[in-house]
Every structure is written in C-alpha cells, then in structure tokens.
C-alpha cells in the first residue's frame, strides 16, 4: 500500500513537472536586421520588422529585404507591434511616452506595404496600446501602464489590462494581470503578446529574455500565469507563425544585437 502511494506520488510529480516546467524555447533561425528595435510580425512568406515609424518587409527563408514603409511624415512616432491577418497587417500605434496616453491601430496592405486604414482609440481609459491579436472572431488587445515618471493619471503597472472586443470594436470583457506579473513588468509593462491556437497567451515584458505563458481565467477578472520560459527573445513585440501547422513557432527580437529571433516552443 505504501509503495503504491509512493508510486502515485512520483507519477503525480512527473505529470505536474511535464505540464508546468517541461517546456522550452529553441532558436531555429536568426536574422541580423539593423532596424530590429520594436517588434516583428509574420505571415506565410515574409516577416515584417517594426521600428517606431518604419516597417521593413523581409523574405522569410533568406532574410532578403523586399520593401519598406516610412510613416514619419504622417506623424507616426511609436509603432509597438503588429499582426498579419488575411493579407492585412494591424499595428499598435501609441504616443508613448507622452501623457495623456493616446493610441490607434494602423492597417497596412502586406502586398503593397501601403497604409490603408486606421482605427483610433484616442485617449483610452485602458492605457497605452502595445499589442493586439485576433482569435475566434474577437480581438484581444493589450493596454499598458507604467511606473515612475511614465505613470499616467496616478496609475501604475497594476492598471495594465487585456481587453476583448468583437469585430465591431465593442468591448466585451477585460482582465488584469496577477501580482507576480505586475512585479515582473515593473517599471515598464506588458510590451507584446500573441494567441496560440489552443488559446494560450504568449506575452513579453520590455526587455527580459523570457516568455510568459498565460491563459484567460475560468472565473474572475485576473489572468492566469501558467509558466515562464527562458527565451532568446528579449521582450518587445512578438508574433506566432500560424502558417506552420503542428508546431508553435514564434518571432521576436533582441534589440541590443539587432537580431530577429525565430523560436520553436516545445
């Protein structure tokens, strides 16, 4: 009886370890790109390097530059991230570090790399738009708050929020981050994120070499932190390559080395 209980305990520990800890990010490709500072988006054939007011389109296999877009003349100052959906790239645009915080979504045709539309949030009560993704007919949008001199209206990182909208941009739900994640993000915030096919969130902070795997809660208003995995991606905007089936491949960057990092999460 004692041996059986001991065996069951070991089995439980093994299963628990496998589900919580046994996951890693393996680098499968890297590209040196001078503009790799803010974020990267990806589709079947290309990746898109996003840097404040510019976007550079690269061929995915060889890393060859195809075309560029410069929005400085249009007043674009701080693109934070991007996601490609059905031939359109949606980029998070904010006035960071200005206060009050204002944000918009800039939309591009990925074939022509022309700016084709915009959706403004104006001064949003949720904070500064940092990332967005779409799943099952809904938008999931990350809004950041910061600490110290970058705090707005007396709010700090605790006010950082994930908001769910329908496709007509009507707010449906919203969640806050658990205390341990607020501590990890401080004094910056949640900089990037993407939704996997299983609904899990793969999030980043500002510059730490970590990916934070989270999920929506079954009840309540606080996101669930599942695990943290070490990564060669150092924060900022990330994107999941959904053109690759049966694998979880994520694109990100290391701004200190100007490198685009491609990792497989196993």
The answer to whether position 203 is within a domain reads yes
Q: What's the pLDDT at 152?
A: 86
Chain center to CA of 182: 16
Q: What's the pLDDT at 23?
A: 82
CATH code for the domain of 141:
2.120.10.30
Q: What's the pLDDT at 13?
A: 45
The answer to whether position 3 is within a domain reads no
The answer to whether position 5 is within a domain reads no
The answer to whether position 10 is within a domain reads no
Tokens of 91: 């980029």
Rounded Cα–Cα distance for residues 184 and 244 (Å): 31
Q: What's the pLDDT at 4?
A: 53
Question: Chunked in runs of 10, what are the mean pLDDT values of the chain (266 residues)?
Answer: 52 45 86 95 98 96 95 92 98 94 97 97 95 98 94 92 97 98 97 97 97 98 98 97 96 97 96
The answer to whether position 20 is within a domain reads no
Q: How far is CA 96 from CA 41, 102, 127, 239, in A?
A: 20, 8, 10, 21
pTM for this prediction: 0.90
Rounded Cα–Cα distance for residues 221 and 162 (Å): 10
The answer to whether position 4 is within a domain reads no
Q: What's the pLDDT at 3?
A: 57
The answer to whether position 167 is within a domain reads yes
Q: What's the pLDDT at 153?
A: 83
């Amino acid at each position: 009886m004692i041996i059986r209980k001991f065996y069951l305990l070991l089995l439980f520990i093994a299963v628990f370890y496998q589900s919580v800890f046994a996951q890693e990010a393996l680098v499968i490709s890297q590209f040196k790109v001078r503009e790799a500072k803010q974020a990267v988006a990806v589709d079947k054939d290309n990746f898109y390097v996003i840097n404040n007011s510019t976007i550079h389109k690269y061929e995915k296999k060889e890393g060859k530059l195809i075309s560029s877009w410069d929005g400085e003349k249009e007043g674009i100052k701080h693109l934070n991230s991007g996601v490609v959906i059905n031939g359109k790239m949606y980029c998070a645009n904010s006035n960071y570090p200005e206060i009050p915080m204002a944000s918009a979504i800039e939309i591009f045709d990925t074939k022509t790399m022309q700016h084709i539309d915009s959706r403004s949030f104006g001064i949003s009560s949720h904070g500064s738009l940092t990332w967005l993704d779409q799943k099952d007919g809904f938008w999931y949008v990350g809004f950041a708050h910061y600490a110290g001199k970058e705090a707005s209206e007396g709010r700090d990182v605790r006010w950082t929020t994930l908001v769910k909208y329908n496709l007509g941009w009507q707010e449906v739900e919203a969640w806050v981050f658990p205390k341990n994640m607020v501590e990890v993000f401080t004094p910056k915030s949640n900089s990037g994120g993407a939704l996997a096919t299983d609904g899990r969130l793969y999030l980043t902070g500002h510059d730490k070499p970590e990916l934070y795997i989270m999920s929506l809660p079954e009840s309540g208003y606080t996101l669930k932190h599942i695990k943290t995995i070490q990564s060669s991606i150092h924060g900022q905007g990330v994107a999941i390559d959904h053109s690759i089936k049966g694998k979880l491949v994520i694109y990100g960057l290391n701004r200190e080395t100007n490198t685009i990092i491609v990792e497989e999460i196993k």
